[in-house]
Amino acid sequence: MPKQIVVTKLGGADVLEYQDYKLPSILKNKDVRIKHTAIGLNYIDTYHRSGIYPVPFDLPFCLGMEAAGEIIEVGNEVSNFKVGDRVAYATPPIGAYCEIRDFPEEKLIAIPDFISDDQAASVLLQGMTVEYLFERLYKIKKNETILFHAAAGGVGLIASQWARSVGCKMIGTVSTKEKASLAKEHGCEFIINYKEEKVSDKVMEITNNQGVPVVYDGVGKDTFDESIKCLSTRGLMVSFGQSSGMVEKIDMHKTFNPKSLFYTRPSLMGYTLNREELLNCSNKVFDKIKNEDVKTNIFKKFKLNQAREAHKTLQSRESFGSIILEP
């Protein structure tokens, strides 16, 4: 009988349980059955686990939005895939923390030959996040200076490389000298250790007191105020995550009016609304990898039954790059 990780109640990493489960006896016409070979661990998984992001399922439920594997069965109306194909996904419905699952064809992506299953599971969600942030939400430009928090995380290391490939000068925040070296190595133009320097003061020094036109902030509560201070007039605050917690009450007039700032709270799902957007987004990520503009960085692999430990490692802020689970 296959195994899965389920959330038994909302809370910390210890609510995760390793259990047997039964597959549906009948495969839906437009679904494929995938035997997972690698499962991506992402911060959004911790939001689902804790209840910060509600999910449309009753407890217990299986976590996870990203995985790679091999198709072992196809529904009667599936036309784009066949048994034996290597595939990946990085979108709802959640339920990736398992050995085998059924998944809708329309949200599935074929893995190119030049990418391994581990690489696909480690880069797809994070890479597509950077694609929509840098290419569609706000188009970064050559010689432009931007600010990106958590530059040594999974998303941050991809962002560093992507910015370098465009010629954009990225300022990245980190918490240690080791992470600073890693972000610099991956293409981050300027590094700010927020434990040693005040981020807004350093940004203003780098930009000759002009500030940056856009801040990409996936940290949330701990960085919000500093992010606002770093923006230039009519700058854009992009709040795409909250690894440190949700930003509490905001005085809209006091916060955004003085510099006529823009604010957005986007998600990858909002930028991959249909199959055309999904494929265009993923293909741009694959092109960056094929051209060696972006290289994957797997920090650590855990067995599926070590999901608790993997979540604790992710939330410790001591990891860098991507974490994957091995079924």
Give the pLDDT confidence score for residue 320 in this predicted structure.
79
Give the pLDDT confidence score for residue 1 in this predicted structure.
93
Query: If you average pLDDT over every residue of the chain, what do you get?
Result: 95
Fold of 142-265: Rossmann fold (3.40.50)
Map out the domains of the chain as residue ranges.
3-123+272-326, 142-265
Question: For residues 241 and 248, what is the distance between their CA atoms, to the nearest angstrom?
Answer: 14
Give the pLDDT confidence score for residue 244 in this predicted structure.
66
User: Tokens standing for 167?
Assistant: 């010629």
Question: For residues 216 and 138, what is the distance between their CA atoms, to the nearest angstrom?
Answer: 10
Give the pLDDT confidence score for residue 321 in this predicted structure.
78
Give the pLDDT confidence score for residue 68 in this predicted structure.
98
Pick the CATH number of 3-123+272-326 from 3.30.428.10, 3.90.180.10, 1.10.20.60, 3.40.50.1220: 3.90.180.10
* Sites in the chain below the pLDDT cut of 70: 244
- Same fold? 3-123+272-326, 142-265: no
Question: For residues 324 and 9, what is the distance between their CA atoms, to the nearest angstrom?
Answer: 23
